[in-house]
Amino acid sequence: MNRVRMYINGNFVESGGKAWLPVYDPSTEEVIAEVPDSIAADVDLAVKAARAAFDQGAWPQTTPQDRGRLLFKLADVIRRQSAQLAELESRNTGKPIVEAEFDVTDTATCFEYYGGIATKIMGYVNPVPDNALSLSLREPVGVAGQIIPWNYPLLMAAWKLAPALAAGCTCVLKPAEQTPLTILELAGSFQEIGFPPGVINIVTGFGDTAGAPIVAHPDVDKVAFTGSAAVGKLILRSAADSIKRVALELGGKSPNIFFADSDFEAAVDGALFGVFINQGEVCSAGSRILVERSIYSKFVDAMVEKTRTIKLGPPLSRDTKMGPLVSKEQYERVRSYQEIGKGEARLVAGGGRLQSADRGYYVEPTIFADVNNNHRIAREEVFGPVAAVIPFEGETEAIRIANDTPYGLAAAVWSRDIFRALRVVKAVRAGIVWVNHMQPTYVEAPWGGYKQSGFGRELGPWGIEEYLETKQVHINLSEQPIGWY
């Protein structure tokens, strides 16, 4: 068996508990590797290493220029190994190879961006009224605990590691149990690039046994989490005990709103891309498709027609547009929502397992029409290729339905009327809003949610704020006695 060890304090190690967990290829359902099934004692070793690298200065005392250069080197390694990393990512997640290649490029870009930011973290001179110099210094938060999901494994690791390292934090990162392979592959280069031991630690394992101890650990200063809302709530509760700083990027049920005056072809394409990209395993998936009544039936018909042409197949095949879901658990979850949807609304496309696949976690891209926003398929995050199409009448109703959700991660609006589009942009309560597009995002722009989609912003200059403390320094310039007593 291909046993891949985890990375703690500069070494590839097994779990102290000696157990291993299987990692699958979801297109064949076969085990392709095993990684350590970590326990709290492993987490403790990783946190101790990160703590020592932070407290004994190995990392925060490197210069910002040196930290930046290391991040650039890491980006170079990723670009050099991109073909191999993309293939591994595609094999382990089931995502089409072409999408995995985009992810790997974005991963390198993210490290480059924060490599540049490392030398641009600046404090302030505070304009105080006394004869004093008052400064605000920006300092790293300390040890960052980072827990990430399985939908974009390498990219999500970069979104968390890059700003933390640029800020001068040390990291204990736990990949999702389903998809630990690409970040461990990359970890093979950390030492050679020049990261001191303990600066980056990758701990593999399950959420309750390896994730929860990171959140509960008293020596972890901050937790950043991307994943389900249910686990986000657990993390927030647990972090209360040690008053940890927390950033949460949770799920969504994002509205993709189509007005009758939008470019019809582009709109239909945007509706499908918005919800089916990456098999729909996207936190910002446009899974509620709101369509103005006057174009509604034509729009649904066109979606159905075009969905028939989406090519499902093996992830590594270059013409595949949709691969299998990541795991058996996710497959069963999505299948159950397909059944729930059948009892609530009108099934117009898909609705089951991909019949032609004799193995692998393939489900058909599925569309429900005439969905009511109160239906479960309109309220609960499916995290798979299941679209809920909801008709509306006019702008006011579109906005009301769009905002009638506990989530607030993303939204999109399609219209050629710039006034209307911008009114909707302002009215929608979501952290990311697209106009005449959905899904593309850039390392330069903020990412994060409103409402129960979490708090905190990743990427851009906002991303680094999450890993910085602010220290006030007051320097008395008066040589007179203070004269109070």
CA dihedral of 188, 190, 194, 198, whole degrees rounded to 10? -120
Number of amino acids touching ligand ADP (CB under 6 A): 17
Least distance (Å) from ligand ADP to the CB of residue 361?
A: 13
The answer to whether the beta carbons of residues 449 and 245 sit under 8 Å apart is: no
User: Which of these ranges, 31-39, 97-105, 141-149, 252-260, lies near ligand ADP under the rule CB under 6 A?
Assistant: 141-149
User: Which of these ranges, 115-123, 211-219, 399-407, 441-449, lies near ligand ADP under the rule CB under 6 A?
Assistant: 211-219
212 binds ligand ADP (CB under 6 A): yes
Can 249 be counted among the known catalytic residues? yes
Q: Which is nearer to ligand ADP, 33 or 176 (CB)?
A: 176
Residue nearest to ligand ADP (CB): 207
Q: Which is nearer to ligand ADP, 198 or 207 (CB)?
A: 207
Binds ligand ADP by CB under 6 A, chosen from 28, 228, 242, 317: 228
215 binds ligand ADP (CB under 6 A): yes
Q: Which is nearer to ligand ADP, 210 or 421 (CB)?
A: 210
User: Which of these ranges, 122-130, 208-216, 411-419, 422-430, lies near ligand ADP under the rule CB under 6 A?
Assistant: 208-216
User: Which of 177, 249, 292, 458 is flagged as catalytic?
Assistant: 249
Burial of residue 232, with CB atoms counted within 10 A of its CB: 0-12 exposed, 13-18 middle, 19 or more buried: buried
User: Which of these ranges, 18-26, 228-236, 458-466, 470-478, lies near ligand ADP under the rule CB under 6 A?
Assistant: 228-236
Least distance (Å) from ligand ADP to the CB of residue 61?
A: 31
3-state secondary structure the chain: CCECCEEECCEEECCCCCCEEEEEECCCCEEEEEEECCCHHHHHHHHHHHHHHHHCCCCCCCCHHHHHHHHHHHHHHHHHCHHHHHHHHHHHHCCCHHHHHHHHHHHHHHHHHHHHHHHHCCCEEECCCCCEEEEEEEEECCEEEEECCCCCHHHHHHHHHHHHHHHCCEEEEECCCCCCHHHHHHHCCHHHHCCCCCCEEECCCCHHHHHHHHHHCCCCCEEEEECCHHHHHHHHHHHHCCCCEEEEECCCCCEEEECCCCCHHHHHHHHHHHHHHHHHCCCCCCCEEEEEHHHHHHHHHHHHHHHCCCCECCCCCCCCCECCCCCHHHHHHHHHHHHHHHHHCEEEECCCECCCCCCCCCECCEEEECCCCCCHHHHCCCCCCEEEEEEECHHHHHHHHHHCCCEECEEEEECCCHHHHHHHHHHCCCCEEEECCCCCCCCCCCECCEECCEECCECHHHHHHCCEEEEEEEEECCCCCCCCC
The answer to whether the beta carbons of residues 361 and 328 sit under 8 Å apart is: yes
For the chain, how big is the Rg over CA atoms in Å?
Answer: 24
22 binds ligand ADP (CB under 6 A): no
Each residue 155-194 as x (binds ligand ADP by CB under 6 A) or -, in order, gives: -------------------x-xx-----------------
Q: Which is nearer to ligand ADP, 236 or 354 (CB)?
A: 236
Can 283 be counted among the known catalytic residues? yes
User: Which of 169, 283, 381, 466 is flagged as catalytic?
Assistant: 283
Binds ligand ADP by CB under 6 A, chosen from 94, 142, 211, 280: 211
Least distance (Å) from ligand ADP to the CB of residue 228?
A: 3
User: Which of these ranges, 69-77, 87-95, 226-234, 362-370, lies near ligand ADP under the rule CB under 6 A?
Assistant: 226-234
149 binds ligand ADP (CB under 6 A): yes
8 binds ligand ADP (CB under 6 A): no
Least distance (Å) from ligand ADP to the CB of residue 10?
A: 23
Q: Kindly identify the residues of this chain, within the stretch 255-314, that bind ligand ADP according to CB under 6 A.
A: none
Least distance (Å) from ligand ADP to the CB of residue 104?
A: 20
Amino acid identity of 227?
Answer: G
207 binds ligand ADP (CB under 6 A): yes
Least distance (Å) from ligand ADP to the CB of residue 120?
A: 31
Binds ligand ADP by CB under 6 A, chosen from 147, 172, 312, 389: 147
Q: Which is nearer to ligand ADP, 206 or 455 (CB)?
A: 206
Binds ligand ADP by CB under 6 A, chosen from 45, 144, 203, 231: 231
Alpha-carbon distances of 187 from 131, 194, 412, 434, rounded to whole Å: 51, 12, 37, 35
| Catalytic residue set | 249, 283
Q: Which residues bind ligand ADP (CB under 6 A)?
A: 147-149, 174, 176-177, 206-208, 211-212, 215, 227-228, 231, 234-235
